[in-house]
Amino acid sequence: MINTMAKLIQNNLTQKIKKAPNNPGVYLFKNQKEEIIYVGRSINLKKRLENYLHPKYFKTISLVKEAKSVSFKTTKNFLDAVILEANLIKKYEPKYNVREKDSRSFVYIVIPKKPWTYPMLVRGKQLEKYSPKKTKAEIFGPFQSLGLTKNLSRLLRRIFPYSTCQLNASRPCFDYQIGLCPGKCIGIITEKEYQKNINNLILFLKGEKEKVKKKLKKTSPEKIKLLENIDDSILISHEKEDFDFGEGRIEGYDISHFSGKETFGAMVVFEDGDFNKNEYRLFKIRSAKPNDDLSALEETLERRLNHKEWTYPNLILVDGGKTQVSTLNKVLDKKKINIPVIGISKFQFDKLVFSKKIDKSLKGIISLSFDELKKIRDEAHRFTNSARKRSFQKHLLPGK
């Protein structure tokens, strides 16, 4: 009976997706309880949603298995879809938009309530200082991509110019010369008129486009045409249309020491299909006893998870077998964090070792990327070995 019901739900999803239009817009997945569990956007709804019929990545499979229905809303352009997506994520906080992702890593557009204000891009970890208890500010987001949010701000500034320059400066700023500043620097706009422009920007970011058009009809009718014919190619060119989830963030861990001395734990990061060396981290082991690799591994992950400002991974990979996987799972359980863990055991001819928490379908999907996973394991091994060698050579130098 359960299998029959699952097939009916899957068929309903398939039929709905096949009817999706080739237009920009947003889509919403709901579960059995009619809760919104994911909100996405696309320049082409049909093309994007068809990817869900044959999901490739474990995170996407988990979403599709839980989803009961999907709905979508078309927009006039991709810009409107980006704005609508952010407002819906803020409203519903769908679990698959924020699942296993530290909210501090999201990007927000913040407009403080002060004279001559202007939009600022703020990371989630910095958002607390703009909370209603501390300061009055309009906050928009979350946006999941810093690059996209930067381009969104550039695009909106063409329609709603704002000033970041000095008031009544001796000469016009560069932004004024290229049409992005309304003239605060040379005193050709009053603070009242400037604030009207900011208010229109705030309304637009709230998704109140029609209200903005009514206001512009009275004050700046020439801008209505600009608003109706937005060239949002600057957003589309940076939009990954292959799939929402991709491979996400994978963290690889390894331990290295020299005869029990100079023990290091290494964390490497594989993100969106490539190594992100800016996110690599080394941990000089402090408390684990010499030659106790499991305690060193436990200490490494505990110290990494203490950094809540770092984005959580979608998958953890460790150089080792069942014992290493169990050790990391113990740390995650203690901190009540749900992240799948796998190992690559050298003693079983590079065989994948899975946590008991990972179901069969997930194992199959992860196995498809075995070559990539081995690269991550090898990179973690290289990174920790190079750190250990540098430390050893440092101690050989005279006077060190």
Decide if 315 contacts 344 (C-beta within 8 A): no
Burial status of residue 89 (CB atoms within 10 A of its CB: 0-12, 13-18, 19 or more) = buried
Burial status of residue 306 (CB atoms within 10 A of its CB: 0-12, 13-18, 19 or more) = exposed
Q: Residue ranges per domain, the chain?
A: 2-98, 103-207, 249-396
- What DSSP string runs through 54-90? S--SHHHHHHHHH--EEEEEE-SSHHHHHHHHHHHHH
Decide if 342 contacts 352 (C-beta within 8 A): yes
pLDDT tens across 93-140, in order? 998 887 545 555 688 999 999 999 999 999 887 887 887 666 789 999
CATH class as words, domain 2-98: alpha beta
Stated as kind and residue range, the H or E segment containing 374 is helix 370-396
Decide if 340 contacts 355 (C-beta within 8 A): yes
- Compute the distance between CA of residue 369 and CA of residue 246 in angstroms, rounded to an integer: 12
- Compute the distance between CA of residue 293 and CA of residue 110 in angstroms, rounded to an integer: 46
- CATH number belonging to the domain at 249-396, selected among 3.40.50.620, 3.30.70.260, 3.10.20.30, 3.30.420.340: 3.30.420.340
Total residues belonging to the chain: 400
Decide if 244 contacts 40 (C-beta within 8 A): yes
**Distance in angstroms between the alpha carbons of the first and the last residue of the chain:** 71
- Compute the distance between CA of residue 237 and CA of residue 239 in angstroms, rounded to an integer: 6
- Helix/strand/coil for 191: helix
The pairing of beta strand 315-319 with beta strand 249-258: parallel
- What is this structure's pTM? 0.64
Q: What is the pLDDT along the chain (400 residues), one digit of tens a residue?
A: 334 444 545 667 888 898 999 999 999 999 999 999 999 999 999 988 988 887 766 667 778 888 999 999 999 999 999 999 999 999 999 988 875 455 556 889 999 999 999 999 998 878 878 876 667 899 999 887 777 888 899 999 999 999 999 998 889 999 999 999 999 999 999 999 999 999 999 999 999 999 999 998 888 888 888 888 887 877 875 554 433 444 468 899 999 876 657 788 999 998 766 788 889 999 988 888 888 889 999 999 999 999 888 888 878 999 888 999 999 999 999 988 888 899 998 765 678 888 776 655 456 556 546 777 888 999 998 898 887 666 545 543 333 3
**What b/e readout covers 119-152, taking b as 16+ CB neighbours within 10 angstroms?**
bebbebeebeebeeeeeebbbbbbbbeeebbebb
